[in-house]
Protein backbone atom coordinates (compact mmCIF):
# COMPACT_ATOMS: atom_id res chain seq x y z
CA UNK A 1 0.00 0.00 0.00
CA UNK A 2 3.11 2.18 0.22
CA UNK A 3 1.74 4.07 3.20
CA UNK A 4 -1.35 5.47 1.50
CA UNK A 5 -4.87 5.05 2.88
CA UNK A 6 -6.62 2.10 1.22
CA UNK A 7 -9.72 2.85 -0.82
CA UNK A 8 -11.86 0.42 1.12
CA UNK A 9 -10.97 -1.26 4.40
CA UNK A 10 -12.74 -3.63 6.75
CA UNK A 11 -11.47 -4.09 10.28
CA UNK A 12 -12.83 -6.94 12.39
CA UNK A 13 -16.33 -6.74 10.91
CA UNK A 14 -19.04 -8.84 12.53
CA UNK A 15 -22.56 -9.41 11.21
CA UNK A 16 -25.63 -11.31 12.39
CA UNK A 17 -28.88 -12.45 10.85
CA UNK A 18 -31.09 -12.36 13.92
CA UNK A 19 -29.26 -14.48 16.49
CA UNK A 20 -27.06 -16.24 13.91
CA UNK A 21 -23.53 -14.89 14.07
CA UNK A 22 -22.32 -14.98 10.44
CA UNK A 23 -19.23 -12.74 10.13
CA UNK A 24 -16.66 -13.29 12.87
CA UNK A 25 -14.24 -10.42 12.45
CA UNK A 26 -13.59 -9.99 8.74
CA UNK A 27 -10.60 -7.78 7.92
CA UNK A 28 -9.21 -6.92 4.51
CA UNK A 29 -8.50 -3.89 2.40
CA UNK A 30 -8.79 -2.94 -1.24
CA UNK A 31 -6.30 -0.52 -2.70
CA UNK A 32 -6.76 1.72 -5.69
CA UNK A 33 -6.80 -0.18 -8.93
CA UNK A 34 -7.05 -3.58 -7.29
CA UNK A 35 -9.29 -6.55 -8.04
CA UNK A 36 -9.74 -8.51 -4.82
CA UNK A 37 -11.64 -11.77 -5.00
CA UNK A 38 -13.50 -13.19 -2.02
CA UNK A 39 -13.43 -16.94 -2.45
CA UNK A 40 -14.83 -19.75 -0.36
CA UNK A 41 -17.43 -22.46 -0.19
CA UNK A 42 -21.16 -21.89 -0.23
CA UNK A 43 -22.29 -20.27 2.99
CA UNK A 44 -18.80 -19.02 3.96
CA UNK A 45 -20.02 -15.43 4.25
CA UNK A 46 -18.93 -13.84 0.97
CA UNK A 47 -22.28 -12.27 0.08
CA UNK A 48 -22.86 -11.19 3.67
CA UNK A 49 -19.50 -9.38 3.59
CA UNK A 50 -20.64 -7.44 0.51
CA UNK A 51 -23.99 -6.67 2.13
CA UNK A 52 -22.21 -5.46 5.26
CA UNK A 53 -20.06 -3.08 3.17
CA UNK A 54 -23.21 -1.75 1.45
CA UNK A 55 -25.08 -1.29 4.74
CA UNK A 56 -27.71 -3.84 3.68
CA UNK A 57 -26.76 -6.02 6.65
CA UNK A 58 -25.61 -3.52 9.29
CA UNK A 59 -22.37 -4.66 10.93
CA UNK A 60 -22.70 -5.59 14.61
CA UNK A 61 -19.02 -4.92 15.25
CA UNK A 62 -15.90 -3.58 13.58
CA UNK A 63 -15.40 -0.67 11.18
CA UNK A 64 -15.63 -0.12 7.44
CA UNK A 65 -13.89 2.84 5.84
CA UNK A 66 -14.06 4.27 2.34
CA UNK A 67 -10.77 6.16 2.35
CA UNK A 68 -10.91 8.30 5.50
CA UNK A 69 -14.67 8.18 5.71
CA UNK A 70 -16.29 5.79 8.21
CA UNK A 71 -19.22 4.19 6.38
CA UNK A 72 -19.95 1.51 8.99
CA UNK A 73 -23.69 0.93 9.00
CA UNK A 74 -24.46 3.98 6.86
CA UNK A 75 -27.59 3.80 4.72
CA UNK A 76 -27.13 1.92 1.43
CA UNK A 77 -27.99 4.96 -0.73
CA UNK A 78 -25.38 7.05 1.11
CA UNK A 79 -22.73 4.35 0.60
CA UNK A 80 -23.69 4.15 -3.07
CA UNK A 81 -23.48 7.93 -3.41
CA UNK A 82 -20.06 7.90 -1.73
CA UNK A 83 -18.79 5.83 -4.67
CA UNK A 84 -19.47 2.16 -3.92
CA UNK A 85 -21.53 0.19 -6.46
CA UNK A 86 -23.04 -3.23 -5.81
CA UNK A 87 -24.06 -5.88 -8.31
CA UNK A 88 -25.96 -8.45 -6.26
CA UNK A 89 -26.37 -12.14 -7.06
CA UNK A 90 -29.96 -11.52 -8.00
CA UNK A 91 -30.12 -9.46 -11.18
CA UNK A 92 -31.54 -6.04 -10.52
CA UNK A 93 -33.08 -4.38 -13.53
CA UNK A 94 -36.12 -2.17 -13.99
CA UNK A 95 -38.35 -4.66 -15.79
CA UNK A 96 -40.72 -2.13 -17.35
CA UNK A 97 -37.95 0.07 -18.73
CA UNK A 98 -35.96 -0.57 -21.90
CA UNK A 99 -32.23 -1.31 -21.93
CA UNK A 100 -31.53 2.33 -22.85
CA UNK A 101 -33.78 3.61 -20.08
CA UNK A 102 -32.12 1.29 -17.55
CA UNK A 103 -28.77 2.77 -18.58
CA UNK A 104 -30.07 6.27 -18.05
CA UNK A 105 -31.31 5.35 -14.56
CA UNK A 106 -27.76 4.32 -13.65
CA UNK A 107 -25.88 7.30 -15.05
CA UNK A 108 -24.08 9.54 -12.58
CA UNK A 109 -21.42 12.12 -13.30
CA UNK A 110 -17.91 10.91 -12.52
CA UNK A 111 -16.09 12.48 -9.59
CA UNK A 112 -13.27 14.82 -10.72
CA UNK A 113 -10.41 12.72 -12.03
CA UNK A 114 -12.47 9.51 -11.91
CA UNK A 115 -13.15 7.22 -14.85
CA UNK A 116 -16.01 8.18 -17.11
CA UNK A 117 -17.90 5.21 -18.56
CA UNK A 118 -20.24 5.73 -21.46
CA UNK A 119 -23.15 3.80 -22.92
CA UNK A 120 -20.98 3.17 -25.99
CA UNK A 121 -18.37 1.46 -23.76
CA UNK A 122 -21.11 -0.83 -22.49
CA UNK A 123 -22.22 -1.72 -26.01
CA UNK A 124 -18.62 -2.51 -26.93
CA UNK A 125 -18.43 -5.12 -24.13
CA UNK A 126 -21.88 -6.51 -24.67
CA UNK A 127 -23.02 -5.99 -28.30
CA UNK A 128 -26.11 -8.04 -27.53
CA UNK A 129 -27.40 -5.19 -25.38
CA UNK A 130 -27.05 -2.80 -28.30
CA UNK A 131 -29.20 -5.07 -30.43
CA UNK A 132 -31.77 -5.09 -27.66
CA UNK A 133 -31.50 -1.46 -26.57
CA UNK A 134 -35.20 -0.76 -27.15
CA UNK A 135 -36.38 -4.00 -25.51
CA UNK A 136 -37.93 -3.93 -22.04
CA UNK A 137 -35.51 -5.38 -19.50
CA UNK A 138 -38.18 -7.80 -18.26
CA UNK A 139 -38.09 -9.48 -21.67
CA UNK A 140 -34.31 -10.08 -21.64
CA UNK A 141 -32.75 -13.45 -20.86
CA UNK A 142 -31.11 -13.99 -17.47
CA UNK A 143 -27.66 -13.49 -19.01
CA UNK A 144 -28.68 -10.24 -20.69
CA UNK A 145 -30.16 -8.98 -17.42
CA UNK A 146 -26.87 -9.79 -15.69
CA UNK A 147 -24.92 -7.78 -18.30
CA UNK A 148 -27.37 -4.92 -17.92
CA UNK A 149 -26.99 -4.91 -14.12
CA UNK A 150 -23.20 -4.70 -14.41
CA UNK A 151 -23.43 -1.91 -17.01
CA UNK A 152 -25.93 0.10 -15.00
CA UNK A 153 -23.62 -0.03 -12.00
CA UNK A 154 -20.58 1.06 -14.04
CA UNK A 155 -22.48 4.00 -15.53
CA UNK A 156 -22.71 5.34 -11.98
CA UNK A 157 -18.92 5.83 -12.26
CA UNK A 158 -18.14 4.20 -8.91
CA UNK A 159 -14.71 4.17 -7.28
CA UNK A 160 -15.20 0.61 -6.15
CA UNK A 161 -17.63 -1.98 -7.40
CA UNK A 162 -18.73 -5.10 -5.52
CA UNK A 163 -19.74 -7.86 -7.93
CA UNK A 164 -21.36 -11.02 -6.54
CA UNK A 165 -21.14 -14.14 -8.74
CA UNK A 166 -21.51 -12.30 -12.05
CA UNK A 167 -20.95 -15.35 -14.25
CA UNK A 168 -23.41 -17.66 -12.47
CA UNK A 169 -25.60 -19.43 -15.02
CA UNK A 170 -24.17 -17.58 -18.04
CA UNK A 171 -23.23 -19.07 -21.41
CA UNK A 172 -19.44 -19.46 -21.91
CA UNK A 173 -19.23 -16.60 -24.42
CA UNK A 174 -20.88 -14.19 -22.00
CA UNK A 175 -18.66 -15.44 -19.16
CA UNK A 176 -15.66 -14.39 -21.27
CA UNK A 177 -17.21 -10.95 -21.91
CA UNK A 178 -17.86 -10.45 -18.20
CA UNK A 179 -14.23 -11.42 -17.47
CA UNK A 180 -13.02 -8.88 -20.05
CA UNK A 181 -15.24 -6.20 -18.56
CA UNK A 182 -13.81 -6.81 -15.07
CA UNK A 183 -10.25 -6.65 -16.40
CA UNK A 184 -11.09 -3.34 -18.05
CA UNK A 185 -12.54 -1.98 -14.82
CA UNK A 186 -9.10 -2.68 -13.40
CA UNK A 187 -7.33 -1.11 -16.39
CA UNK A 188 -9.48 1.99 -16.09
CA UNK A 189 -8.75 2.38 -12.41
CA UNK A 190 -11.96 1.13 -10.79
CA UNK A 191 -11.32 -1.14 -7.81
CA UNK A 192 -13.28 -4.36 -7.74
CA UNK A 193 -14.35 -6.77 -5.02
CA UNK A 194 -15.40 -9.96 -6.74
CA UNK A 195 -17.15 -13.10 -5.55
CA UNK A 196 -16.62 -15.70 -8.25
CA UNK A 197 -17.27 -19.42 -8.02
CA UNK A 198 -15.21 -20.19 -11.12
CA UNK A 199 -11.71 -20.32 -9.68
CA UNK A 200 -9.99 -20.04 -13.07
CA UNK A 201 -11.67 -16.70 -13.75
CA UNK A 202 -10.99 -15.38 -10.26
CA UNK A 203 -7.30 -16.29 -10.54
CA UNK A 204 -7.08 -14.63 -13.95
CA UNK A 205 -8.66 -11.28 -13.14
CA UNK A 206 -7.59 -10.75 -9.49
CA UNK A 207 -4.61 -8.85 -8.19
CA UNK A 208 -5.20 -10.39 -4.73
CA UNK A 209 -7.42 -13.10 -3.33
CA UNK A 210 -9.00 -13.61 0.08
CA UNK A 211 -10.36 -17.00 1.02
CA UNK A 212 -13.24 -17.07 3.49
CA UNK A 213 -14.25 -19.93 5.76
CA UNK A 214 -16.86 -19.87 8.52
CA UNK A 215 -17.22 -16.11 8.40
CA UNK A 216 -13.50 -15.32 8.58
CA UNK A 217 -10.67 -14.62 6.16
CA UNK A 218 -8.49 -17.74 6.29
CA UNK A 219 -6.00 -16.75 3.58
CA UNK A 220 -4.93 -13.58 1.83
CA UNK A 221 -2.38 -13.53 -0.94
CA UNK A 222 -1.71 -13.43 -4.66
CA UNK A 223 -3.55 -15.64 -7.15
CA UNK A 224 -0.25 -17.44 -7.76
CA UNK A 225 0.20 -18.22 -4.06
CA UNK A 226 -3.31 -19.64 -3.87
CA UNK A 227 -3.03 -21.66 -7.08
CA UNK A 228 0.15 -23.36 -5.88
CA UNK A 229 -1.11 -24.19 -2.37
CA UNK A 230 -2.84 -27.54 -2.75
CA UNK A 231 -3.67 -27.90 0.91
CA UNK A 232 -5.37 -24.53 1.02
CA UNK A 233 -7.37 -25.34 -2.11
CA UNK A 234 -8.40 -28.70 -0.69
CA UNK A 235 -9.24 -27.40 2.78
CA UNK A 236 -11.23 -24.32 1.84
CA UNK A 237 -12.29 -24.42 -1.77
CA UNK A 238 -12.75 -27.99 -2.96
CA UNK A 239 -16.35 -29.17 -2.97
N1 LIG B 1 -31.13 -13.59 5.07
C2 LIG B 1 -30.54 -14.53 5.79
N3 LIG B 1 -31.07 -14.94 6.97
C4 LIG B 1 -30.46 -15.89 7.73
N5 LIG B 1 -29.31 -16.50 7.39
C6 LIG B 1 -28.74 -16.14 6.24
C7 LIG B 1 -29.32 -15.14 5.37
N8 LIG B 1 -28.51 -14.99 4.29
C9 LIG B 1 -27.48 -15.85 4.47
N10 LIG B 1 -27.61 -16.54 5.63
C11 LIG B 1 -26.66 -17.52 6.16
O12 LIG B 1 -25.42 -16.87 6.36
C13 LIG B 1 -24.33 -17.72 6.00
C14 LIG B 1 -23.45 -16.99 4.99
O15 LIG B 1 -24.23 -16.73 3.82
P16 LIG B 1 -23.68 -15.94 2.56
O17 LIG B 1 -24.85 -15.65 1.71
O18 LIG B 1 -22.87 -14.79 3.03
O19 LIG B 1 -22.74 -17.05 1.91
P20 LIG B 1 -21.92 -17.04 0.56
O21 LIG B 1 -20.49 -17.24 0.92
O22 LIG B 1 -22.27 -15.87 -0.25
O23 LIG B 1 -22.40 -18.40 -0.15
P24 LIG B 1 -23.54 -18.67 -1.23
O25 LIG B 1 -23.75 -17.47 -2.08
O26 LIG B 1 -23.05 -19.83 -1.99
O27 LIG B 1 -24.73 -19.03 -0.39
C28 LIG B 1 -24.96 -19.01 5.49
O29 LIG B 1 -24.94 -19.94 6.54
C30 LIG B 1 -26.37 -18.62 5.15
O31 LIG B 1 -27.25 -19.71 5.33
MG1 LIG C 1 -23.34 -15.62 -1.98
Q: How far is the CA of 89 from the centre of ligand 2 (A)?
A: 7
The Cα-based distances of 90 to 42, 162, 201 in angstroms read 16, 13, 20
**Architecture of the domain spanning 8-237:** 3-Layer(aba) Sandwich (3.40)
Element containing residue 145 per DSSP (H, E) = helix 142-155
Q: How far is the CA of 200 from the centre of ligand 1 (A)?
A: 23
pLDDT of residue 239: 67
Cβ neighbors of 66 (< 8 A, separation 6 or more) are 7, 8, 79, 82, 83, 84, 159, 160
Tell me the best of 18, 46, 87 to mutate to test the pocket of ligand 1, counting ligand atoms within 8 Å of each CB and taking the most.
46
Whether residue 161 contacts residue 85, with contact meaning beta carbons closer than 8 Å, is answered with yes
Domain boundaries, the chain: 8-237
Nearest C-alpha to atom 6 of ligand 1 is from which residue? 17
Nearest C-alpha to atom 26 of ligand 1 is from which residue? 42
- Protein residues whose CB sits closer than 6 Å to any atom of ligand 1: 17, 20, 22, 40, 42-48
pLDDT tens-digit profile, the chain (239 residues): 445 789 999 999 999 999 999 999 999 999 998 999 999 999 999 999 999 999 999 999 999 999 999 999 899 999 999 999 999 988 889 999 999 999 999 888 877 777 789 999 999 989 999 999 999 999 999 889 988 999 999 999 999 999 999 998 888 988 888 898 898 888 888 999 999 999 999 999 999 999 999 999 999 999 999 999 999 999 999 86
Q: How many CB atoms lie within 10 A of CB 141?
A: 13
- Rounded distance between C-alpha atoms, residue 130 and residue 61, angstroms: 44
Amino acid sequence: MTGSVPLLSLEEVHAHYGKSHILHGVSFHVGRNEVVSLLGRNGSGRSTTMKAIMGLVPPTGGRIHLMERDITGARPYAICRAGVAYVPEEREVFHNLTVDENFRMGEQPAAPGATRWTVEDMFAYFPRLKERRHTKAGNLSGGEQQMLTICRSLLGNPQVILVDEPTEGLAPKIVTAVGECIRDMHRKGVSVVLVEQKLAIALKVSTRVCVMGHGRIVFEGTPQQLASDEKLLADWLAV
